[in-house]
Chain A
Amino acid sequence: MTDFPLPAAAETVRRVREDPHRLGHRDPHAHETIEGIGHGTTGPATKRVIVGYGFWIFLLSDIVMFSAFFAAFAVQRGATAGGPGVSELVDMHRVGWETGALLLSSYTCGLSFAATNARSKLWTQVFLLVTGLLGLIFVGLELLEFVDLAGRGIVPQRSGFLSAFFGLVGLHGVHVTLAGMWLLTMMAQVQLKGFRPEIVHRLICFNLFWHALDIVWIGIFTIVYLMGAVA
């Protein structure tokens, strides 16, 4: 089925060995050196650890970028310039469906990686596809919301507050859209190239990215929508 050189079990053993913290697998007070984690005593880490680690660092930087937009939203929350305030643009019903779709997509994304670990191309593709469709629903609902608001004259050019609102929510939407394009190329790679090590590494990164976008959405859902609804 795949051209991956190791059977799944061997890969799993290797994965557990490479788990930097060996959660649940190691006495935390043990001092034996562990190969391939790059902690200095044993030389450079394996490619898998390096790729995952680097991507975590990127995610942190991306979250810093979001935090700048969150800060702008916090500063300009009251700067409505006589226009609509935050409570006038929250439609909790729609946002609830959006949030549900995105949270569910995180779950299916996790399932896709479980399938990757089992080296099942079929189920990896199925769950990646479901993830992508749920992401599409999310972006679609968000676009509907923006079109709806624009129809009521609520556009970013209206006030500083609305700039900050559309900027923050829109930035997240752009991220999800780009992640969807990434997802498509990953599906193509898995289909045509199989579970090569570098493709599995990219699937790890894609999973991390998708979950990170979910976490950011929870921030937006809470700070923009929930706190807006009670304002």
Chain B
Amino acid sequence: MFGKLSWSAIPWDQPIPLITVAVLILIGAGLLGLVTYKGWWPYLWTEWITSVDHKRIGIMYILLGVLGLARGFADAIMMRTQQAIAVGGSQGYLPPEHYNQIFSAHGTIMIFFAAMPLVIGFMNFVTPLQLGVRDVAFPTMNSVSLWLSASGFLLVNVSLFIGEFARTGWLPYPPLSEAGYSPGVGVDYYLWAIQIAGVGTLMTGINFVTTVLKMRCPGMSYLRMPMFCWTTLAASLLIVAVFPILTATLAMLSLDRFFGWHYFTGDAGGNPMMFVNLIWAWGHPEVYILVLPCFGIFSEIFSTFSGKPLFGYRSMVAATLFICIVSLMVWLHHFFTMGAGPAVNTFFGIASSVIAVGTGVKVYNWIFTMYGGRVRFSVPMLWSLGFIFTFVIGGMTGVLLAVPPADFLVHNSMFLVAHFHNVIVGGVVFALFAALDYWFPKAFGFRLHPGWGAAAFWFSFIGFWVTFTPLYILGLEGMTRRLQHVNIPEWGPMLQISAFGVAILVVGAACQIIMLVVSILQRDRLRDTSGDPWDGRSLEWATPSPAPFFNFATTPNVEGEEAYWGIKLAAIESQRLGPEPKYEPIHMPVNSPVGFYTAVFATMFGFALIWQIWWLAGLGFVGALAGFVVFAWRDVHEYWVPAEEVARVDRARRAARQALLDQIPEQPEGAPA
């Protein structure tokens, strides 16, 4: 009846997950109780859960990513403290089987359920605004994507309490991950959580390729798109190109595990190295899926806070597409030690180094953007400057690792761990915190507190380097990754410094939380009445803050690069806004619960497959399918916003702009200060 599921699946003997789950359940029950008590359910359901508005979906993606970041960071704290303690005679507080689950969960969650939702969240929130359109190409599919990602994250967290998580690392290499060596449900939790979330990500990729290529406001030709839209396009193209490989690979591993097939087994003609090749053919482009939109975020910020157009815009576009393509040709550098021979290793070594050329073009462009500009050191700019410093060093250690003979010495060492945290924390996490500060006023109508934001930056920046510099040194001294216990007492002090660095990072995270609380409390003082708090240059700043659900009252007409900057300069020069447009009714897509229903059934389906409860899996599959059929049957797809409502919202926006304009003294020539 219940497959492999029984009461013994709950880890009654392990206090850490039990206490965590108890706390999580208490918090969750408290939140649900509060929502019920306050009567917020109708609001939550109609305005958020069933929303197909790209801005709402973006915000929910970002919330999901922040939850993932918290969970992954908790895992990181446990790993660093365990390694700081478990040196020499001490065994620390985490037994090996638990420690293995923690490093596997840390990597899985940080990539799939922290970085991906955050990056996709910003793609959702920003791209349609920058393109001057009212929504993405497929708004309802966007909602399905979001809820499938949430379903995957839920499954990962269910594994805390019911069963176990994978102990096989964030990429489950066979034969270790085959049924013979990992008979528990840990790997199955991994497989189905990632499969479900991966389908959501693939749909996001399709959605954004179509949005960027087919849904731009009049005049927004390719070479007038903001850099962030270009990077969204590049990342979405990569998603479409490589996520199917992930789906295929994990499906093959599932067939091996469930039915005893021999794709990747060590015997009967199975080929474990085929898994490693396939998974990295997805895995390496995946890091560029994460980092390319972040490069876009930095491009926007450097240009805005330097008061200059982005330096070398066309070379930036070229470098983005160059990285997009070459990233598909470097996967083998993750396993130079496979023994593919000098010719193959040389090819992939050179290809990996060549990526640094494209990235170098970008770094110089950002530096030259600042050169001669009026640089403002606001919080997003601090993160961006910290990024250049951190990312360049991470990139250089990466070029070192791209040299096969050097790679043989530090393969799978702490040096590697330090390298990829150097580029992912420096490149992706810093970008996401910068973006949070930068676009927060557009989402909620008030800025974040700059003092606490700066404090968060400095603690995170210093904490990062204190944590990871010792790991570089340990890696060079020969310490391998994923050690639950360290035999060499001389490595103890370095590991303890690293744990101290994590403590600084915790302070940084606390600053972020305080920043949010303080900003909400002081929201009237931090209110953004103009809609353009940073003196921005792209179309999202042409809307009021927070942006109305239809984004633009009339579709913008773009007449050059930096669409909003041109409009703004014209208004300032003539000291008045353009003529009031003729307002017309707008049609918008209606909300739909199909995303939420699909995710409920997908969760049921995934959970049933993990525990091999076949009837429940069938129920989940049929339920999800029925949801789509019912959705296809609906008669109303769109509704009209009356012209009067559009006019009312836009006249308020124009009044705010006029007030802003009146504050600016007459400019004889040049750009405003």
Contacts and interface: CB of A to CB of B under 8 A. Distances in A.
Question: Bound pair: A and B?
Answer: yes
Contacts of B353: none
B274 interface: yes
Given A44-B133, A45-B215, A160-B268, A57 B240 contact: yes
Contacts of B247: 65
A123 interface: no
Interface in B204-236: 205-207, 209-210, 213-222, 224
A164 to B, nearest CB: 7
With a 10 A CB-CB cut-off, give which of A49, A76, A80 has the most chain B CB atoms: A76
A49 B202 contact: no
A101 B148 CA distance: 37
Given A40-B219, A72-B274, A160-B262, A45 B269 contact: no
Interface stretch (A128-136, A151-159, A212-220): A151-159
Nearest to A166: B261
With a 10 A CB-CB cut-off, give which of B138, B205, B270 has the most chain A CB atoms: B270
With a 10 A CB-CB cut-off, give which of B221, B247, B269 has the most chain A CB atoms: B269
Interface in B265-286: 265, 267-271, 274, 278
B269 A80 contact: yes
Interface in B228-261: 240-245, 247-249, 252, 255-256, 259-261
A167 B252 contact: yes
A41 B207 CA distance: 21
Contacts of A37: 214
B268 A64 contact: no
Contacts of A166: 261
Contacts of A45: 214-215
Contacts of B632: 185, 189, 202
A156 B261 contact: yes
A41 B221 contact: yes
B214 A61 contact: no
Contact of A57 (B209, B260, B267): B209
B240 A159 contact: no
A231 to B, nearest CB: 16
Contacts of A39: 221
Contacts of A158: 262, 268
A38 interface: yes
Contacts of A64: 240-242, 244-245
Nearest to B274: A75
B268 A61 contact: no
A57 B210 contact: yes
A42 interface: yes
Interface string A46-77: 00011001100110111011001101100110
A43 interface: yes
Nearest to B218: A43
B271 A160 contact: yes
A53 B207 CA distance: 10
Interface in A158-174: 158-164, 166-167
With a 10 A CB-CB cut-off, give which of A42, A44, A158, A164 has the most chain B CB atoms: A44
Given A45-B214, A60-B240, A65-B248, A76 B261 contact: no
Given A68-B245, A71-B278, A198-B637, A81 B268 contact: yes
A230 B49 CA distance: 57
A200 interface: no
Nearest to B240: A61
A154 to B, nearest CB: 13
Nearest to A181: B625
Contacts of A167: 252, 255, 261, 263
B555 interface: yes
B255 A79 contact: no
A163 B240 contact: no
A97 to B, nearest CB: 28
A61 B202 CA distance: 8
A174 to B, nearest CB: 10
A53 B241 CA distance: 16
A76 B637 contact: no
A157 B262 contact: yes
A167 to B, nearest CB: 7
Interface string A180-209: 010001000100010000100010000000
Interface residues of B, number: 51
B504 interface: no
Contacts of B256: 163
B263 A43 contact: no
Contact of A54 (B206, B221, B249, B255): B206
B137 interface: yes
Contacts of A40: 216, 219-222, 224
A44 B138 contact: no
Interface in B613-664: 625, 629, 632-633, 637
A159 B210 contact: no
Contacts of B242: 64
A198 B140 CA distance: 14
Nearest to B282: A68
B263 A157 contact: no
A181 B622 CA distance: 12
Interface in A138-154: none
A58 B632 CA distance: 18
A80 B271 CA distance: 12
Contact of A189 (B243, B261, B555, B633): B633
Given A65-B248, A159-B262, A54 B210 contact: yes
A79 B273 CA distance: 14
B272 to A, nearest CB: 11
B269 A157 contact: no
Contacts of A60: 240-241
Contacts of A49: 214
A38 B249 CA distance: 35
Contacts of A44: 133, 214-217
A38 B206 contact: no
A89 B343 CA distance: 37
Contacts of A41: 218-219, 221
Contacts of B241: 60-61, 64
A157 B262 CA distance: 6
B207 A54 contact: yes
Interface in B482-529: none
B629 A57 contact: no
Contact of B138 (A54, A61, A79): A54
A57 B252 CA distance: 24
Contacts of A202: 632
A214 B637 CA distance: 32
A42 B629 CA distance: 34
Contacts of A193: 633
B137 A50 contact: yes
B269 A65 contact: no
A42 B268 contact: no
Nearest to B137: A50
Contact of A38 (B216, B260, B261): B216
Nearest to A46: B214
Nearest to B558: A40
A43 B244 contact: no
Given A79-B269, A185-B632, A38 B244 contact: no
With a 10 A CB-CB cut-off, give which of A42, A65, A163, A181 has the most chain B CB atoms: A163
15 contacts: A38-B215, A40-B220, A43-B218, A45-B215, A53-B210, A60-B241, A65-B248, A68-B245, A75-B274, A76-B263, A80-B269, A159-B268, A161-B269, A163-B270, A185-B632
Given A53-B214, A61-B243, A68-B245, 5 more contacts: A43-B216, A50-B214, A54-B138, A80-B269, A167-B261
Chain A to chain B: the 4 pairs with minimum beta-carbon distance, closest first: A160-B269, A79-B269, A68-B248, A38-B214
